[in-house]
């Protein structure tokens, strides 16, 4: 009988608990509404004063002129999601290494000098000049700088202002100033490279406060990336071409000098028919023919190597060219307002039920103390 009574009381206890929870929530509605309004105001402030940003993007396919790897095995591997063709042929660069190129110091330093078209400027200014002397982060940026970023500013002030000049070195080591280092960190956040190795395409996007400058930065990053990849790909054949060109220039001079020497000898010894003159003429003719043979052979090699460089030069197929964005990418003001309003509601409800929970714990603690004192 007792067990039956207990089971019959469980739904009633649960119902009482739900009613109590609902009553607690209703009594704390003012707190919830207050927190919702406070966070809604914060969200509205952030949504209004967050500066606009525009994102331009491009998509391209890096062509591979190497032989296809694997034959039938490559087809089977593609069914398993493995792209053997993207593993790179002889002298090629895998697209998975493209982020390493984009994040390299030489690439970033060249990109800092990208000329940008900006409102209020009569001529184009570089990325570095814009963010060093012109750009204003806005009210929200200043608040962030002097609240969250205040400890960093104080540390810099205590350490003192460091020199922005690059230290002189006896070798060719890369050096960065503190200003360049800060600009490169910012540029790394604004420039995004996405490599889809499975489908074989590369996407590049850049975000800037103005639409046309975002397109210009994306276009320059795309061109610079292609230049780096081409230079890496044709490095070996270009070095060979340079060597052949130098040897060709030397042998060309030697051939022309042998021609002139032979011609002068013939002009001076037209009516001389001695054995010594005949021997000298034969020697000069042999030197000229030898120089001509080497010169002709190098001319053939030079032409062949020039063709080889052209063949090694990769061609990029642009699927989506860079265009000036029409709509801003950030901020999404309705989403910001919704998130902050929702967060305010969650915090408000948490405060109401948290306060009730702490109160019940306090009562339980006091009750236990009184019971202990009585005993």
pLDDT at position 138: 56
Half-sphere exposure of 231 (CA within 13 A, CB side): 8
Kindly report, residue by residue over 161-210, the tens digit of the pLDDT.
Answer: 444 555 544 556 778 888 888 899 989 999 999 988 788 888 999 998 88
**Does pLDDT of 356 surpass 80?**
no
pTM of the model: 0.62
Residue 141: per-residue pLDDT: 55
Tokens linked to 121:
């400027």
Q: Determine the pLDDT at residue 206.
A: 92
pLDDT at 94 over 70: yes
- Percent of the chain with pLDDT strictly greater than 90: 13
What is the pLDDT averaged over residues 305-328? 82
Percent of the chain with pLDDT over 70: 73
| Nearest partner of 127 among 59, 209, 51, 204, judged by Cα | 209
pLDDT at 341 over 80: yes
**CA dist 347 → 39, 47, 104, 334, 352 (Å):** 9, 20, 44, 20, 9
Residue 63's pLDDT band, with cuts at 50, 70 and 90, is: low
Q: CB–CB of 311/65 below 8 Å?
A: yes
Q: What are the extents of the domains in the chain?
A: 55-66+94-234+314-323, 238-311
pLDDT digits (tens, 9 = 90+) for 235-254: 788 788 888 888 889 988 98
């Amino acid at each position: 009988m007792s067990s039956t009574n207990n089971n019959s009381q469980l739904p009633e206890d649960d119902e009482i608990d739900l009613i109590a929870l609902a009553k607690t929530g209703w009594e704390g509605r003012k707190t919830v509404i207050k927190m919702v309004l406070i966070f809604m105001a914060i969200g509205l402030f952030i949504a209004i004063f967050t500066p606009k940003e525009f994102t331009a993007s491009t998509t391209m396919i890096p062509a591979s002129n190497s032989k296809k790897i694997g034959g039938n095995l490559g087809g089977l591997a593609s069914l398993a999601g493995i792209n053997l063709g993207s593993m790179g042929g002889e002298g090629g660069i895998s697209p998975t290494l493209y982020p390493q190129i984009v994040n390299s110091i030489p690439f970033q330093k060249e990109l800092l000098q990208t000329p940008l078209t900006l409102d209020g400027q009569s001529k184009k200014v570089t990325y570095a000049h814009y963010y060093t002397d012109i750009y204003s982060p806005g009210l929200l940026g200043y608040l962030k700088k002097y609240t969250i970023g205040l400890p960093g500013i104080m540390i810099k002030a205590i350490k003192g202002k460091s020199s922005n000049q690059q230290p002189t070195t006896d070798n060719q080591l890369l050096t960065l100033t503190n200003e360049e280092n800060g600009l490169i960190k910012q540029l790394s956040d604004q420039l995004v490279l996405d490599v889809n190795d499975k489908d074989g395409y590369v996407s590049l996007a850049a975000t800037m406060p103005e639409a046309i400058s975002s397109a210009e930065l994306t276009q320059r990053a795309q061109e610079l990336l292609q230049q780096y990849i081409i230079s890496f790909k044709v490095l070996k054949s270009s070095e060979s071409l340079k060597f052949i060109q130098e040897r060709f220039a030397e042998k060309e001079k030697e051939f022309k000098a042998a021609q002139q020497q032979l011609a002068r000898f013939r002009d001076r010894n037209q009516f001389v028919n001695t054995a010594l003159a005949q021997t000298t003429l034969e020697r000069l003719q042999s030197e000229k023919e030898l120089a001509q043979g080497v010169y002709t052979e190098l001319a053939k090699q030079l032409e062949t190597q020039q063709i080889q460089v052209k063949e090694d030069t990769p061609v990029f197929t642009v699927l989506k060219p860079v265009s000036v964005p029409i709509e801003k990418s950030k901020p999404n003001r309705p989403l910001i307002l919704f998130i902050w309003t929702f967060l305010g509601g969650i915090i408000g409800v948490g405060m109401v039920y948290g306060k009730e929970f702490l109160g019940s714990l306090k009562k339980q603690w006091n009750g236990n103390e009184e019971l202990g004192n009585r005993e």
